[in-house]
Amino acid sequence: MTETAQRKPAYRRWWFWLLVLGLVYLVTGFGLIPLYLSSALPERLQQHLGWTAGFDEVGFNPFTFSFSVQELSATDPEGERVLAVEELQLNLGLIDLIRGTIHVEHLELDNPFLRVDLLEGNRLNLIEDWRNQQQATDDGDGDEDAEQPVPYHVVLDEALINGGRLRFRDFTDGANGRSREIVIESLGLTLSDVTSREREEQEPGEYTVQAVMGEQVLDWSGTLNLVPLWSNGRLSLSNVSAETLQQWLGHHLPWSLQDGRLSLSTAFQFAYDDQGAALATRNGQVTARRLALADPDTPEETLASAGHLTLDSVAFNLEGPELVVSMIQGEELHLNAVMDQEGQLNLTRPLQVMSGDEDDGGRAGSGFRWSVGNLAISNSTVDWRDNRPDSPVELTLQELELNLGAMTEQLEEPISYQLRTALAGGGSASANGQFTLHPLTFEGGVNLDQVVLAPFNGYMQQGSQLQINDGTLNLAGNIDIDVQDDPLTGTFSGRGSISHFNGQFPDEDEPVVVWRELRLDPIEYNFAPARLEIGSVTVSEPELSVINYRDRPHNVTRLLQPVVPDNGVAADGEAAADGTDAPDAGLIFRLGQLELANAEIRYTDYVSQPAFSGRVHDLEASVSNLSNITPQEGQFNLRATVSDSGELQADGTIATLGTDNPSRLSVTMDGLSMPVLNPYFAFYLGYRVDGGKLSSDGNYTLRGTRLESDTTLTLDRLELGEAVQSDSSVTAPVKLGLTLLRDDDNRVTLDLPVNGDLADPEFDLGPVMMRTFRSVLVKTAMSPFSLLGSVVDLAGFSPDELGEVAFLPGETTLVMGEYTKMETVAEALKAREGLVLAIRGRALESVDLPALEAGLAEDETLQEGALEGLAEQRGQTLRRLLTDEYDVPAEQIFLRAHRVEPGEDEADQVAIEFQLEAR
């Protein structure tokens, strides 16, 4: 019988135990390990971070040694969510894990969420939670000898984040109770080769981060080391909105960001240890487009904007801190600068608010170091509005180009500059030199070319009522200013000119001041003490229109009077005065030479009706050595033509300006055609002028505003024309006065002393002289015989005695001695052919009647009409005596109707009065 072979029991076979081992591995891997992880994972997060975690499902594949977690979520000790993952996949290295190292071969998170908080002191919440939990664990263990847990090291080969979401909050401004937050969506992260061990020779890990926040894009890559924590790399942010910038940087900026996009890229180095955080950047670039800034208090008004702004080679070091910018370039910048009525500039108001909140003693810095290598601005504009004048000034600088040299926080270091711009109203300006910010100093060359003056009318009206219609300014020179609290010091030296100037008062139809060119060369001005020295002033073809109104002073007085606002208060806050402001007593002024070439002065006087108009033209004048420093005395010389006929000359000296020392002028005029003066003659005398020439010779002395003059007028062959109606004319026989004043050459010579105060609005030299002339004529006409002494020898008779002749009672015979008087009158008539002697025969009943009756016979009676006949015969007797005996032309003798008067007292003679008249 064959022996049956026995089989070994299955449990004694190797494959049995291999199968058992596999089943145990499968049960452990697919069942026990996930069960363990379900409790261990929350426990570890609680133990090391203090977080409370939860999830839906945990999986483990023992074949690939990979873990998966679904819907993981964790909250910090305050109960706020800090971590969430839709799905987590983790592959670990088993052998390294056995050796005590957590080796993550692959980690992938889908749609994760992480909250990162930057706490006060630049601390991160993730690291603080780890430290706090470790500290709490150490404090809770009372047994110092207790066995300490063996720390695990972590090695990460690869980590991926898909569609992540990061919530970043900044609590560094917690003192003011403010926090800022930003949420990064669509976050993608790649991390490789990271370990918690200290590396000696191995290369650090690498990472890349990409995220999109609307139009804002983040691109971040570099190397990373965990122990110690440091990272080098490059960060790029594109199209960051003004809203985001305002949220995170607004509390550091004086202005509010209203619009624009900012992009930046920089290389960086970051480290974190027990001493805190360290950060340094280099090779950075910042670009801003369509940037707009506003005052935080008035965000609706844009203060500044930039079409394109670039900062090149930017470096920052948190230690210091220090900021270095190699170049700042700006294009299409626009500033909207407004000065309010109190002198506050809208651009600097936010800066003053910040300096008031954080006073650093007036020095920029407070430990912050900065430097800018160069600043270049091009194709930019500045809108300027100054509301201080009653009529605000609006200017626009366009095509502005500005270059500034190196700048640092050392504000006392000089900064070079170059500036060029064009004014929208016309003209251009340029400057170059250097300045300092603290103390504020400015020096360099300034050039204004063809700057149109009309836009500056608001500034002009602060000192004059003149309105500029036309004119361009040219100015070239060097300026050196040191801005101190009080006083401002500095100098200006250069030359300037104003061309094609045209200015008028708004209520007048014609310009009041016009010139072709005004040149000042050289100009030397010192701010403190104030000193202005001008070598020469040359004015070509100036024209001045002077108007004397009936109801107000000359218009030229308004040239030095500011425009009075509707409230009657001048721009400086004081009530506007009627006169001109006194010059600053502290100003030292010197003028070497003033030249007027081909000048013209037009004068219109509305006091007379019709108005008088005349002009002084072809005027050439020179003034030298003017000054307000005694005992300086200037020289004056003038040559001109008056109203196309008269030749005017003036010479003299000008006293020290601002003193009461006398200025003396000698003025002569020859050959002025007198019909030009028709309005004055018609208004003051009631006659027009048909012909004649006027000459004058006067000496004028001016002390302050007080004028003393002694003028001799010569009227050559003056012929009065027709009489005209005038309310201001006189009823006296003007023609008689002129006839009596004429000399043998048919000239009238008058001495007219005129004194007055030029500051008196009622004083006007022309009308005053005309009124004085009228008074002389009236006086002469009212007492005509008083002037005969200048014509003939009066033979011992008084003017009153020559005005009448006496007859014997009842006769036509003159009283003894009266024939000599008649001969004197005859000589005067023959010397003045324009005179007419009017004779009225006269008889007095009380004197002549008794005489006539005494001569009658006893039986004879007096014929009827005897007295009338006697009166008539006496007139005829005088006429025949003058014409026949003394050869007076008959046309100079007129007989008026004789007259018989009763008489009052007895007398031994009868007087017949003469009346002198003009033909």
**Number of other residues whose CB lies within 10 A of the CB of residue 803:** 20
CA dist 854 → 808, 809, 857, 878, 903 (Å): 14, 11, 8, 25, 18
The number of angstroms, rounded, from the C-alpha of 659 to the middle of its chain's C-alpha atoms is 32
Please name which of 457, 471, 467, 474 lies closest in space to residue 500, comparing C-alpha atoms: 471
The number of angstroms, rounded, from the C-alpha of 498 to the middle of its chain's C-alpha atoms is 18
25-29 contacts at long range (C-beta below 8 A, 24 or more positions apart): 25/62, 26/62, 28/62, 29/60, 29/61, 29/62, 29/63
What pLDDT score was predicted for residue 10? Answer: 63
d(CA 101, CA 96): 5
Query: Is cis: bond before 414, omega within 30 of 0?
Result: no
Q: What is the largest CA-CA distance in the chain?
A: 245
What is the residue-wise DSSP string for 451-512?
A: EESGGGHHHHTTT---EEEEEEEEEEEEEEEE--SSS-EEEEEEEEEEEEEEEE-TT-SS-S
d(CA 209, CA 798): 128
**Number of other residues whose CB lies within 10 A of the CB of residue 843:** 27
Please name which of 888, 875, 674, 687 lies closest in space to residue 781, comparing C-alpha atoms: 687
* End-to-end Cα distance, the chain: 201
What is the residue-wise DSSP string for 217-248?
A: EEEEEEEEETTTEEEEEEEEEEEEEHHHHHHH
- 3-class secondary structure, 96: helix
- Using the CB atoms, write b or e for 576-599: b if 16+ within 10 Å: eeeeeeeeeeeeebbbebbbbbeb
d(CA 404, CA 371): 12
**Could you say which DSSP state residue 833 is in?**
T
CA dist 103 → 61, 90, 98, 428, 676 (Å): 16, 10, 10, 72, 118
- Range list of β-strands (E), 505-542: 513-526, 531-540
| H or E element, residue 689 | strand 687-703
Mean pLDDT by 10 residues, the chain (919 residues): 57 68 69 73 79 81 78 85 86 73 83 85 79 68 51 78 83 65 81 77 82 84 85 91 77 79 92 85 92 83 89 90 92 90 78 52 58 94 90 92 92 92 94 87 93 92 89 95 75 95 90 95 89 94 90 81 64 45 65 95 87 93 91 92 94 89 93 89 84 91 87 87 76 72 81 77 66 70 63 70 88 89 85 85 89 82 88 92 90 91 79 83
Please name which of 700, 698, 743 lies closest in space to residue 718, comparing C-alpha atoms: 743
d(CA 672, CA 643): 7
Contact of 550 with 583, CB cutoff 8 Å:
no
What pLDDT score was predicted for residue 785? Answer: 67
What pLDDT score was predicted for residue 730? Answer: 64
What is the residue-wise DSSP string for 834-875?
A: TEEEEEEEEEEHHHHHHHHHHTS-TT--PPTTHHHHHHHHHH
Residues 6+ apart with CB under 8 A from 121: 172, 276
- 3-class secondary structure, 353: helix
Residues 6+ apart with CB under 8 A from 341: 387, 388
